[in-house]
Amino acid sequence: MKKYAADLHIHTCLSPCSDNDMTPANILNMAKLAGLDMVGITDHNSAENIKAFLEAAHDYDILVIPGMEVNTREEVHVLCYFQDMDGIMEWQEVIYKHLPPIKNNKDIFGDQLVVDFMGGVIREEERFLLSAVDLSFDEIVKQVTNLGGICIPSHIDRPHNSLIYNLGLIPEDAGICAVEISKNTLYEEVIKEIPVLKEFTVIQSSDAHSLGEILDRRTYFLLEDLTFKEFTLALKRIKGRKVILEI
């Protein structure tokens, strides 16, 4: 098996809070410089830029994992990953049905740019993407799993929009196998605060909103080869696949 470095939480120019230069080529070139083998593209409540990233990724030896960071009814942020365009688009339809019909005010929140694989702006997304969707954390995990995807609660150590902060503890039987810790902490520190996390796979990601934030090689996946299937096996710690954190 081989070790593959990953940063699984990156926002593109679609997220209102991100820089407008978070385009496919910029992010993938930065990932290449950082020595990453795998990136997760995870905009807030939307997957409009996934297609552009999958197209752009043809020119790189990097696996792009289609993802989304959903804001649950309880205002918990949870990362949802899918194997391909079909999966993530089906999921986007579900999310859009449960997203409140509020329009973005770009003067306050920022631009929501949908781009092509060259980074050219196709349009601006009108729906305000930062709202909480009217689906509970448990419902989201269940539905993502049913659609063949996998969920990882975001920045579980953070004192806002995190599963532990908003919901107190990891819900029983929710089907969570892995959690994310934010980039400015250490595994040992988080475990000291929240000992129960020892029972989970822990990944560390950047939650990058600007190019400079994309993480260097810190979270490694031990896999047979670089595929979505193998990625999910590692999160579940099956057949020797696993995640290794290195500083």
Q: Residue numbers of the site for other proteins (CB under 8 A)?
A: 74, 136-138, 164-169, 171-172
Q: What amino acid occupies position 141?
A: V
Beta bridge partners, 121, equal: 115
Minimum CB distance to other proteins smaller for 39 or for 78: 78
Q: What amino acid occupies position 114?
A: V
Output the smallest distance, CB 105 to other proteins, in A. Answer: 25
Minimum CB distance to other proteins smaller for 63 or for 144: 144
Output the smallest distance, CB 20 to other proteins, in A. Answer: 33
Size of the chain, expressed as the number of residues it contains: 247
Output the smallest distance, CB 146 to other proteins, in A. Answer: 16
Whose CA is closest to 77, among 143, 27, 140?
A: 140
Cα 16 to Cα 108: distance, rounded to the nearest angstrom = 9
Minimum CB distance to other proteins smaller for 107 or for 199: 199
Minimum CB distance to other proteins smaller for 138 or for 207: 138
Full DSSP string of 37-84: SEEEEEEET--TTHHHHHHHGGGSS-EEEEEEEEE-TT--EEEEE-SS
Which long-range contacts link 229-236 to residues 24+ away (Cβ below 8 Å)?
A: 229/83, 231/38, 231/63, 231/65, 231/81, 232/150, 234/201, 235/150, 235/152, 235/177, 235/178, 235/201, 235/203, 236/177, 236/178, 236/201
Minimum CB distance to other proteins smaller for 144 or for 167: 167
Output the smallest distance, CB 17 to other proteins, in A. Answer: 21
Output the smallest distance, CB 68 to other proteins, in A. Answer: 21
Place of tokens 């954190």: 245
Whose CA is closest to 181, among 164, 205, 163, 199?
A: 205
Output the smallest distance, CB 191 to other proteins, in A. Answer: 17
Place of tokens 């503890």: 169
